[in-house]
Amino acid sequence: MQLVINSRGSYLKKKENCFLVKNEDKVFEVSVKKVDSILITTSAYFSTDAVKFAVDNNIDIVFLDYFGNPYGRVWHSKLGSTTLIRRY
């Protein structure tokens, strides 16, 4: 599942083994096991704990502009098969 944060002022943080998204009076909680990637499309806030939690669980964080085009990405730095192939 893709966790999409597309509301201005939303806040993403880690809570135990879940991601917690807050926006004004709304709260949404989702298990890390259900999330494949996190897409952030607007002016949102996130904790460094949430970023580390995503990286530790091999979840990409992608930043999208107003039109939905990606302009930045955070992912884990562990060597995978693609990285190993490129090294040789």
Output the pTM of the full model: 0.82
The CA–CA distances, whole Å, from 75 to 8, 24, 42, 59 equal: 23, 28, 19, 7
Range of the domain at 82: 2-87
How many domains is the chain partitioned into structurally? 1
Show pLDDT as tens, one digit a residue, over the chain (88 residues).
Answer: 999 999 999 999 999 999 999 998 899 999 999 999 999 998 899 999 999 999 999 999 999 998 999 999 998 887 665 655 555 5
Q: What is the pLDDT of residue 69?
A: 95
Q: What is the pLDDT of residue 86?
A: 59
How far, in Å, CA of 75 to CA of 36, rounded? 11
Q: What is the pLDDT of residue 30?
A: 96
Q: What is the pLDDT of residue 42?
A: 84
67: CATH: 3.100.10.20
Q: What is the pLDDT of residue 83?
A: 57
